Every structure is written in C-alpha cells, then in structure tokens.
Amino acid sequence: MNPKFQAPKGVSEYLPPRSNLFDYVSRTLTTPALAAGYELIELPIFEDTELFTRGVGESTDVVSKEMYTFEDRGGRSLTLRPEGTAGVMRAVIEHNLDRGQLPVKLFYRGPFFRAERPQAGRYRQFYQFGIEAIGVNDPYLDAEVIGIAYAGYKKLGFSNFSLHITSLGDAESRNRHREDLVKFIESLNLDDETKVRAAKNPLRLFDDKRDEVRSKMQSAPLLLDYLNQESMENFASVQAALKSINVPFEINPRMVRGLDYYTGTTFEFVHNGLGAQSGIGGGGRYDGLMETLGGQNLSGIGFGLGIDRVLLAMETEGCIPENIRYVDLFVIPLGVAAQSTAFTLVNQLRTAGFVVEQSFGDRALKGAMKAADKSGARFSIVIGDAEISSGTVELKEMSTGKASSVTLSALASELAKLS
C-alpha cells in the first residue's frame, strides 16, 4: 500500500508496541533526576531564532546548516528548537528563576529538530531527556549531573557504553590555548570554507570528519595541556567525585561538543554498538551562556540524552525487559447485563490501582479471549448471566490456564495477593 500521506522524511515515530518501550525509557531516565530534586520545565517548541544563533553559536553545524527557521504571520523569525539549553536559560532569565535558591535544578523531555541527513539513529525530529543545574560552579555538581545520566543508563540495564570527559578550562586557559591553536591552524594548508569555520571557533577543526583534516589536526595543541592551576584542580576534583560514586570514565582531550557554549567540564556518553551515531548523550558546563543571552553572569551545567538512540542501544544489547506494558486483568462481559456489571467492576479495580482492560462491542467469547491474550494480561475473567447471579467468577491465569473461583467482592484482594 502506498498511503497518500506519509510522515516527513527523517522523523522518528513511536507506535505500539515499541512506543511502550519509548515511554519506559524516558520515564526511567528521569527517575535519577527526580531523586536528586530536579523539577520539570516545559518550554515552547519554537523560540526566537536569535536565541539559538547567539546561544548555540554561528560556527556550529546546528546553527549554520540544521535549523528549521520560519517567519510567523507577524514577520518574526522563529526556529524549532534544535536543543534545550538555550530555551531553558531564556526562561530562567525571563522569569527570574535565578533570583531565588541556587542552583536552579530543572529537567525537560521532548522533541527537538535538526535538519540533518537522516540515517539510523539520526533524525530530523528526535527526543531528548535533559537536565540543567544553574547558578553554582562546584565540581561536585558537575559530578552529580554526570552521575544522574549514568544512573539512568544503568537503570535501563545496558552496559556497552563509555563516558568520555574533558575540560575546556576557564577563560584564561582557553585564551592561551586559542592563541597557539590559531597559529597552528594558520600553518596548515586549508580550504577557504574551513578557514572561515576555524576563524569562528578553531576548536571545531577537532570535530572535522574528513581524513585529511583529521590527520593534520593530529599534532594540534590540546586544550587540556593548557589548563591553569585552578582549572586543573577543578577537573581533578570532578574526576575524584566521579570515582567516589563509581562512575567509570575515560579522559578524551580531543572531544569537541557540537555546540559553542561549553566551558569547563564537558562529557559524552558513547555506545559501542551503534555505529556512526554512537553519541547517546552529552553535555557540560557553560559559563558565559546566561550573560550572552542577557542575564546575570552565572554558570550552569547540564546534559541532553538522546532517547531515540538509547532505545536503539537497548535493542542492540537485547536488554529489553518483558512486560513493560503490564495488564493485571482482562474482563470479558457476555450479554447486556454483564456489560454494565463489568463496566463498574473494571472502574472499581482501576481505582484500586490495578491495570484492567475489558472487551467492548458484542464480541463472541473466542474473539474476546484472543483480545485478552494479545493484551498480555496476567489474568482474565468472563462475566455472564450465571456469574452475575452467583456473584462468583473464574479467575484464569493466562500463562497456565489455571482457574480458581473468586467472588466478585473478593476479586481485588485476590488480585493483590497474587501480584
């Protein structure tokens, strides 16, 4: 079949049953953030375009090539959010969240948009779970943020991934490095486009995918070697804090994040079974972002985890838990009177906390049993006229076919006993 309408190219969609896994993944990634006191922030999907050009940086692919930008009916330039941090900072500044208790600790989940070339694990609409901790510069907070991402992955049960960390140091360290890096880059024979990119942000060249640029950059000066005493001590404290909570990491001095706002600690989680799109999450500290966007000069740190890629990682590792979609009971009414009895019974059981489905329509028993099977329910009951008059049903365990008589009034307590 060739349907008249199809989803736009390169977007990720989640339909049952895989959407159950998507829901499970995003909820599970969120639990460690909730345990650490982060609170939800729900933001617009589109923002003023300038928020991203200024915040994320014009040297980045995200801003220069990948934004979905449009003019609204009032002639304003708007952009579908390509990432979450700039929007969070805008909201924090606009609503004075940074004037209270610090750090401000926020989390978000939702779709993001980048006009990238679609491939496995790279989509034009994708989903992130992210957190931001704003207003305090403390190596323990860096380690808390990284630890929250790590705990989320571990909770999901996959293991074939590594954490890469580095430090971009403070402004003084970065300036000293930049001077030498620029001199080094000037000594290379590069095409004009690359020179323009390097002029905006010379670190970008570490990220170049072309072999000839990569080999030229092999001997480039590394920022990590330029950290001053304070930055070095800060980075050492972050590492010690990570070790103290058993978060394994590798130091990767060549790592460059794809967004320009980073300073200090930066990190990426890489899954080893995903091929080219192996980044399952990343983040770091951003000292100047808030000020760049018109706020006070406060530091922040956060991450964005790619929910789509985490899902792929779990599927690659085969660590998908059974019964993500758990149904306690499937209720099959037979006849008009039973429909009404079943409807109120199902409602009572749901109120009591059970997950209950019922069959609808004038279904014959066979078809309804099939639906019960498909639902994955642990138990089923059939209610007909005889059951209504006796007040008793046969509670059938779907996996074994074993049944036991239970009175309707004792059904909830019996289910509780069995679960």
**Which residues form the interface with ligand HAM (CB under 6 A)?**
83-85, 114, 116, 122-123, 126, 128, 130, 132, 258-259, 279-284, 302-304, 306, 308-309
> Of the two residues 78 and 280, which places its CB atom closer to ligand HAM in the complex?
280
What per-residue string of b and e applies to 354-366 under the rule 16 or more CB within 10 Å gives b? Answer: bebbbbeeeeeee
> Of the two residues 202 and 284, which places its CB atom closer to ligand HAM in the complex?
284
> Least CB distance from residue 287 to ligand HAM, whole Å?
12
Q: Which residues contact 313 (CB under 8 A, 6 or more apart)?
A: 158, 160, 161, 271, 273, 274, 280
Per the structure block, which two tokens stand in for 298?
């406060």
> Of the two residues 207 and 387, which places its CB atom closer to ligand HAM in the complex?
207
- Cβ neighbours around 32 below 10 Å, total: 20
> Of the two residues 114 and 177, which places its CB atom closer to ligand HAM in the complex?
114
> Least CB distance from residue 145 to ligand HAM, whole Å?
8
Rounded Cα distance between 245 and 324, Å, is 29
Whether the CB-CB separation of 84 and 289 falls below 8 Å is answered with: no
Query: DSSP 3-state assignment of 319?
Result: coil
> Of the two residues 12 and 231, which places its CB atom closer to ligand HAM in the complex?
12
Per the structure block, which two tokens stand in for 119?
């491939």
> Of the two residues 148 and 223, which places its CB atom closer to ligand HAM in the complex?
148
> Least CB distance from residue 83 to ligand HAM, whole Å?
3
> Least CB distance from residue 417 to ligand HAM, whole Å?
43
**Residue 372 CB burial class (10 angstroms; 0-12, 13-18, ≥19):** buried
Residue nearest to ligand HAM (CB): 306
> Least CB distance from residue 98 to ligand HAM, whole Å?
16
Assign 3-state DSSP to the chain and report helix, strand, coil percentages, each to 5.
Answer: 45, 20, 35
Q: How far is CA 132 from the centre of its chain?
A: 13
Q: Which amino acid is at 122?
A: R
> Of the two residues 259 and 368, which places its CB atom closer to ligand HAM in the complex?
259
> Least CB distance from residue 17 to ligand HAM, whole Å?
21
Using left for φ > 0, alpha for ψ between -120 and 50, and beta otherwise, residue 294 falls in left
> Of the two residues 119 and 340, which places its CB atom closer to ligand HAM in the complex?
119
> Least CB distance from residue 11 to ligand HAM, whole Å?
10
> Least CB distance from residue 236 to ligand HAM, whole Å?
22
Rounded Cα distance between 279 and 104, Å, is 26
DSSP per-residue string spanning 49-96: HHHHHHHH-TTSHHHHH---EEE-TTS-EEEE-S-SHHHHHHHHHHTT
